[in-house]
Structure 1
Amino acid sequence: MADGAALWRIARDSEALDLNSSYSYLLWCRDFAGTSAVARDERGEPVGFVTGYVRPDRPRTLLVWQVAVDDAYRGRGIAAALLDGLVARVSGEYGITSVETTITPGNTASDRLFDSFAERHGAALEREVLFPTGLFPDGPHDPEVLYRIGPLSL
């Protein structure tokens, strides 16, 4: 739970993610720590994270909620290492065979991250709009495109 505030700050400073309430990051670190991962600097401070959960209706699918790396640590492969490590860990614990995430059009960093993830793991990648713009009740929002990756060869 102690990492929740740091994860919120990293998400806020990313300027790419939809920022959730600080409360949600605290809860996430309590309730979904087993399906999330945090990268730390030499002092033990969080510098990146990937949050996810196992889909209740598809228990062999890990939904990746957010991935972010502090600006000072970008370009070092931290996001890819976090994603690979998390999927390897939850695959063993939960029998995960596929990964899902949503990405807004124009988020090229996330698109590249998940394209390369699929390639590294010999998995197919399918895309389709999950939530079109009109479904968002709080103003203009880009559509969220669902990326389905699997089956994974780990």
Structure 2
Amino acid sequence: MSQGVILDSPRLEDGADLWRIARDSRTLDLNSSYSYLLWCRDYAATSIVARAADTAARTPVGFVTGYTRPADPRTLLVWQVAVDQDYRGRGLAAAMLDALTLRVRDRLGIHLVETTITPDNAASQRLFTSFAERHGAAVAHEVLFEAASFPEDGHEPEVLYRIGPIGAGRP
């Protein structure tokens, strides 16, 4: 990861920046701006932001949002990962994912990471496959939501990636 970035917990005032980063990614399903504000309020403990260290405002330049699954609180579901265009290609997404997972593992005892990825999203597939390799964890895949489950035309299926166990002492 490059210098000049601070990894931190999201704050309520970060919601608008997270929405902007998600919108500008052109790959994520964009949620309402309201949902990003709620995410920063209610799921800050299971999410992370990367802040530009060279600005007085410490503006967010990337984020990972996640939550522990109500039916399995030892599983972290990673909802979205996004990095501002100017900060891509520096390993920031991997650094945020590693830092968040280790923090949540140590605080909440998670042992599995889940995410969903559409079949056309090669970058996310590489991110989570390399994450599993770095952590010495197995990866299982299965379709969680078929394309027909979505109300809009053209949505691809969402493939569930289950990564784990995430063991102590790993990066």
1:100 & 1:115 partners in 2: Cα distance?
Answer: 12
2:86 & 2:135 partners in 1: Cα distance?
Answer: 28
State the partner residue of 2:139.
125
Q: CA deviation at 1:152?
A: 1.2
Q: Does 1:37 align with 2:48?
A: yes
Extract structure 1 runs of 4+ deviating beyond 2 A: none
SS state at 2:31 partner: coil
Aligned length: 154
Q: Does 1:142 align with 2:143?
A: no
State the partner residue of 1:105.
119
Give % identity.
69
Q: CA deviation at 1:137?
A: 1.3
2:163 & 2:132 partners in 1: Cα distance?
Answer: 6
1:140 & 1:106 partners in 2: Cα distance?
Answer: 12
Q: Deviations over 1:59-93 (max 9, x none)?
A: 11000000000011000010000000000000011
Residue type matched to 2:146 in 1? Answer: P
Consecutive unaligned residues in structure 1, runs of 5 or more: none
Alignment of 1:13-24 (within 5 A): 13-24=24-35
Consecutive unaligned residues in structure 2, runs of 5 or more: 1-11
Q: Does 1:60 align with 2:60?
A: no
State the partner residue of 2:14.
3
2:105 & 2:88 partners in 1: Cα distance?
Answer: 26
1:112 & 1:146 partners in 2: Cα distance?
Answer: 14
Q: Deviations over 1:97-123 (max 9, x none)?
A: 010000001111111000000000000
Q: CA deviation at 1:140?
A: 2.3
SS state at 2:140 partner: strand
State the partner residue of 2:101.
87
Q: CA deviation at 1:139?
A: 2.7
